[in-house]
C-alpha cells in the first residue's frame, strides 16, 4: 500500500493546484512544497552515523546521514520537485530520465538517460508529480535497478489506482509516497479528477 501524505498543508496545496484558474507560479510553488513534505516522510529511515561536533562552547554528539542519496526526476514534470528537496538535502545527487507516454499505446518511451558511470547511490528517489498508468514509473525503476541501485522510492503527488497497482505489482520492493490517490484514469490515460497535465501546468501549455 502507498504511503499517503495527510498533512493539512498538503491537502490545502492539493486543492489550490487542482483549480484550473491557478497560475503557473502557484502550481510550481505548491508542487515544490509538496515535494519537500513527501521527502520528509520518505526519509524517516535514512541511516545515520554518530559524529563528534565542536560547538562554540564544547564538544557534543551528533548524527550525519550516512547514505548517498540520488534524486531522479522524470522529465519534464519531475523537475518541479527537485529544488525544494535540494534545499533540505543539498548533497543529494541529481540524475535525469526522459520518459514520455505514447499517446496511442499509453506505453512508456525512454528518450533520455543521464545516470552516473560510477558506483550508484545507496538510495534513489524517483520524482514525478503524476503516477497515472504507472508505465513510466515502472520503467524508471527498472532502469535504476539495472544501474545497480538497491533501494528505490517513488515520490508523487497525484496517482490513479491503476498506476499504483502496476508499480506495486511489477516492483513490490519500491516504497510509494503520494499526496493523494484519485478516482481513476480516463480513456486518454489522464488521472481523474487530477489537475491536468503536470508539465503544462508548471511550465507551458494553454
Q: Which residues of 164-185 are buried (b: 16+ CB within 10 A; e: fewer)?
A: bebbbeebeebebbbbbbbeeb
Cell of 22: 491557478
**Residue 155 β-bridge partners:** 127, 177
Q: Active-site residue 101, yes or no?
A: yes
Q: Active-site residue 128, yes or no?
A: no
Instruction: State percent of the chain over pLDDT 70.
Output: 96
Identify each DSSP E strand in the chain by its residue range: 3-4, 48-54, 59-65, 69-75, 93-94, 96-101, 108-114, 123-127, 130-131, 151-159, 175-181, 184-185, 191-192
Residues 33-61: tens digit of each pLDDT: 999 999 999 999 999 999 999 999 999 99
Catalytic hit among 19, 60, 105, 173? 105
- Whether 206 shows a pLDDT value over 60: the answer reads no
User: Cα–Cα distance between 135 and 85 in angstroms, integer?
Assistant: 24
165: nearest Cα among 149, 152, 176, 150? 176
Q: Active-site residue 119, yes or no?
A: no
Domains delineated in the chain: 3-202 (3.40.50.2020)
Q: Active-site residue 173, yes or no?
A: no
Catalytic hit among 18, 24, 28, 101? 101
User: Cα–Cα distance between 49 and 31 in angstroms, integer?
Assistant: 31
Give pLDDT, residue 118: 75
Amino acid at each position: 500500500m502507498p504511503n499517503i501524505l495527510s498533512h493539512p498543508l498538503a491537502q490545502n496545496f492539493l486543492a489550490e493546484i487542482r483549480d484550473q484558474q491557478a497560475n503557473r507560479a502557484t502550481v510550481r510553488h505548491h508542487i515544490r512544497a509538496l515535494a519537500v513534505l513527501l521527502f520528509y516522510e520518505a526519509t524517516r529511515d535514512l541511516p545515520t552515523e554518530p559524529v563528534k561536533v565542536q560547538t562554540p562552547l564544547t564538544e557534543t554528539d551528533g548524527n550525519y546521514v550516512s547514505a548517498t542519496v540520488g534524486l531522479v526526476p522524470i522529465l519534464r514534470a519531475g523537475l518541479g520537485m527537485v529544488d525544494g528537496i535540494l534545499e533540505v538535502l543539498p548533497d543529494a545527487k541529481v540524475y535525469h530520465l526522459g520518459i514520455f507516454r505514447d499517446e496511442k499505446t499509453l506505453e512508456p518511451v525512454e528518450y533520455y538517460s543521464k545516470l552516473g558511470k560510477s558506483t550508484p547511490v545507496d538510495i534513489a528517489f524517483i520524482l514525478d508529480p503524476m503516477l497515472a498508468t504507472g508505465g513510466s514509473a515502472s520503467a524508471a525503476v527498472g532502469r535504476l535497478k539495472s544501474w545497480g541501485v538497491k533501494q528505490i522510492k517513488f515520490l508523487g503527488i497525484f496517482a490513479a489506482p491503476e498506476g499504483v497497482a502496476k508499480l506495486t505489482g511489477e516492483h513490490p520492493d519500491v516504497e510509494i509516497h503520494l499526496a493523494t490517490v484519485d478516482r481513476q484514469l480516463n480513456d486518454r490515460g489522464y488521472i481523474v479528477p487530477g489537475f491536468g497535465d503536470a508539465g503544462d501546468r508548471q511550465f507551458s501549455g494553454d
